[in-house]
Chain A
Amino acid sequence: MMPDLGKYALEVNSSYILSLMALGVIAGLYVKRSRAVRRALAELEAAQDA
């Protein structure tokens, strides 16, 4: 199933791996911070309401 990339396999594959890793890391960081801030806000609002 893998395409024959010939002598440029290293260049093509490393481009895909690096780019997908970078996109994965930034997306993961955004989702992680979003959850942390949402949780902190919910806790503070609950504490102030109580």
Chain B
Amino acid sequence: MNSTPIAPTLSDRFWRLANPKIFMGWSSKLLPWIAAVALASLCSGLIWGYFFTPDDMRQGSTVKIIYLHVPAALMAINGYLLMFVGALVWLIRRQHVSVLAAKAAAPVGMVMTLIALATGAIWGQPMWGTYWVWDPRLTSFLILFLFYVGYIALWAAIEDEDTAADLTSVLAVVGAVFAMLSRYAVLFWNQGLHQGTTVTMADGAKQDNISDVFFQPLLLSMAGFGLLFLTLLLIGTRTEVRARRLKVLQARERIE
């Protein structure tokens, strides 16, 4: 009988990237490049912002906090949305790498949320006269932080890997509502001290709510934070893949 091999579709090729062995191959090649670009863009964005930008007319030198606060807040939300996607892929397709990526993203996302909250409080004191107020955006960010903590704690509390993956994925899906709420809180509730979105991209062009003098280093800093997140995500996911293999080998050794 003459059999013709079926050519893999684009979808097949995409999902093959999540095969642990194939993932370890392509990620090891990409990682040094992403890390180098992350370091370069983060350093240049922050140095440009700190040393070479002028003070704002109303906010004085505190405007320099924007190069930390906005990128960290952006990655806090996007980090959780990434966990949401990883969790969904696990729940639907049972792809181990996706849920391990979600697990690896959580501590980095938590640190990003912490930076956004801390720099926001430090910035808020001289501008609003208070470190904290139960403003919709601040409160939803605090809840987002607690979701990150809960997600990490749940992973640590359950010994069986697949059960932990299932339960944490459900938590990640529920928490994604708060990630979206953190993003759009200022639009839902027209109250509170926090200003509207600083950087809005519409039709590929930024809106005029921030001057180019501040926007250009901010863009570089956002790219740096994003790529740093990606670098740590790849390192963390590779570690989780190895740790999983280590557990399997140790269990096999105990049986033998």
Does B126 make an interface contact (CB < 8 A)? yes
The answer to whether A22 and B114 touch across the interface, beta carbons within 8 angstroms, is yes
Q: Which of B213-235 contact A (CB under 8 A)?
A: 228, 232, 235
Query: How far is A6 from B133 in the complex, measured between Cα atoms in Å?
Result: 26
The answer to whether A8 and B62 touch across the interface, beta carbons within 8 angstroms, is yes
Q: Which candidate, B92-100, B159-167, B243-251, is the interface stretch facing chain A?
A: B243-251
Q: Which applies to chain B's interface (DSSP): helix, strand, loop or mixed?
A: helix
The answer to whether A41 and B242 touch across the interface, beta carbons within 8 angstroms, is yes
Q: Which of B81-121 contact A (CB under 8 A)?
A: 107-108, 111, 114-115, 118-119
Most B CB contacts (10 A, CB to CB) among A1, A26, A45 go to: A26
Residues of B within 8 A of A38 (CB): 239, 242
* Interface size classification for chain B: 35 or more
Query: How far is A3 from B55 in the complex, measured between Cα atoms in Å?
Result: 10
Does A50 make an interface contact (CB < 8 A)? no
Does B176 make an interface contact (CB < 8 A)? no
Does B178 make an interface contact (CB < 8 A)? no
| Interface 0/1 of A1-38, CB less than 8 Å to B | 10111111101101110110011011101110110011
Residues of A within 8 A of B246 (CB): 37, 40-41, 44
Whether A37 touches B115, Cβ cut-off 8 Å, given contacts A6-B60, A11-B65, A16-B68, is: no
Nearest CB in chain B to that of A2: its residue: B51
Nearest CB in chain B to that of A34: its residue: B239
Q: What are 9 A-B pairs with beta-carbon distances under 8 A?
A: A3-B61, A4-B61, A12-B62, A14-B122, A15-B118, A16-B64, A41-B245, A44-B253, A48-B253
B: residues with CB less than 8 A from A are 46, 50-51, 55, 60-62, 64-65, 68-69, 72, 107-108, 111, 114-115, 118-119, 122-123, 125-126, 228, 232, 235-236, 238-239, 242-243, 245-246, 249-250, 253
